[in-house]
Structure 1
Amino acid sequence: MSDLHTYATTTTWTGNTGTGTSGYTAYERSHTITAAGKPPLAASSDPAFRGDPAKYNPEELLLASVSGCHMLWYLHLCAVHQVTVIAYTDETSGEMRTGADGGGRFTGIVLRPRIVLGDPDKAALALSLHHKAHELCFIANSLNFPVIVEPQILTTDERI
């Protein structure tokens, strides 16, 4: 059985500096992302594309979406299997290639979750649950490029 879930966001360009898009350098790439009942998220393009480095860009948000989805599935699976996670940090990276026309695509993302467990005897199970979390991740399943997971399991004695 399949359930349909729908999502809605609004993206509003906030980078009109007075002359709109009258020239390539005449406007900012700033925009705000909103969703009902949530605070706005200030965003821009990557600095390589004239964006504001102090704001999130779509590429970073894609990485965060993949990482967050994997983490939430992983924590769920750990709870179901009585694996107590004390801490979770993921240093995610991704590669995007651009072409001569300026367009491009991501070629891969690597998740590097570091998990601290309360019980070192469950380390093997904790490691195996990453594979299942990856299989279930909605976002990773929607992408057309590889997402690699390189987990590291630590015990409370080896804290992050």
Structure 2
Amino acid sequence: MPKDHLYSTTITWTGNKGSGTMDYRSYDRDYIITVDGKADILGSSDSAFLGDKSKYNPEDLLLSSISSCHMLWYLHLCSKNEIIVIDYKDKAVGIMEELADGSGKFKEVTLHPEVLIADKAHFELAESLHKEANKMCFIANSLNFLVKHEATFKAENN
């Protein structure tokens, strides 16, 4: 039986320079993401859209959500399959297409997990678990574009 989980965030725009959104350049794109009991995240739009490049933008956060959800499922599946993961790092890359009317969408995301496992005998199974993690990931299941995986593996017992 399906089970619902409720999540709640608050976004507060902090970019009013005194005249609100009087025109396109009269305001900053800055905001604060607040989740009860957690540290705030300072956000802005991408600098290509007049945002502050030193702050997280929605595109950064989307990639981070995809990557972290995949990693957490992958680690779970490895644990369940008795594969010992020693280290995991992912360099996620996304391609977003901006359309003529200014709207846009992500076309694809490629995850590049670099995984260090304890035993090289598990490389094949460890690699196959990325597909399973993608099937299980709540975020990936909510997307309307392709998430690819180009994982590399090393083992402590080379």
Please report the TM-score for the alignment, with normalisation by the length of structure 1. Answer: 0.96
Runs of at least 4 residues off by over 2 Å: none
**In the alignment, residue 12 of structure 2 is paired with which amino acid?**
T
1:116 Cα offset (Å):
0.3
SS in 2 for 1:110: strand
RMSD: 1.0
> Which structure 2 residues correspond to residues 21-40 of structure 1 after superposition, within 5 A?
21-40=21-40
In the aligned structure 1, how far is the partner of 2:100 from the partner of 2:157?
Answer: 50
**In the alignment, residue 130 of structure 2 is paired with which amino acid?**
H
* 1:64-89 superposed Cα distances (whole Å, 9 cap, x missing partner): 00000000000001111111101000
In the aligned structure 2, how far is the partner of 1:81 from the partner of 1:157?
Answer: 18
**In the alignment, residue 71 of structure 1 is paired with which amino acid?**
M
> Which structure 2 residues correspond to residues 2-151 of structure 1 after superposition, within 5 A?
2-151=2-151
User: May I ask how many residue pairs the two structures share in their alignment?
Assistant: 158
1:131 Cα offset (Å):
1.1
In the aligned structure 2, how far is the partner of 1:71 from the partner of 1:23?
Answer: 42
1:120 Cα offset (Å):
1.3
SS in 2 for 1:96: strand
* 1:4-45 superposed Cα distances (whole Å, 9 cap, x missing partner): 111100000001111111111111000000111001000000
1:156 Cα offset (Å):
2.3
In the aligned structure 2, how far is the partner of 1:122 from the partner of 1:109?
Answer: 26
In the aligned structure 1, how far is the partner of 2:153 from the partner of 2:136?
Answer: 20
In the aligned structure 2, how far is the partner of 1:10 from the partner of 1:99?
Answer: 29
**In the alignment, residue 65 of structure 2 is paired with which amino acid?**
S
Gaps of at least 5 residues in structure 1 are none
SS in 2 for 1:95: strand
Please report the TM-score for the alignment, with normalisation by the length of structure 2. Answer: 0.97
In the aligned structure 1, how far is the partner of 2:32 from the partner of 2:57?
Answer: 11
Gaps of at least 5 residues in structure 2 are none
In the aligned structure 2, how far is the partner of 1:21 from the partner of 1:44?
Answer: 15
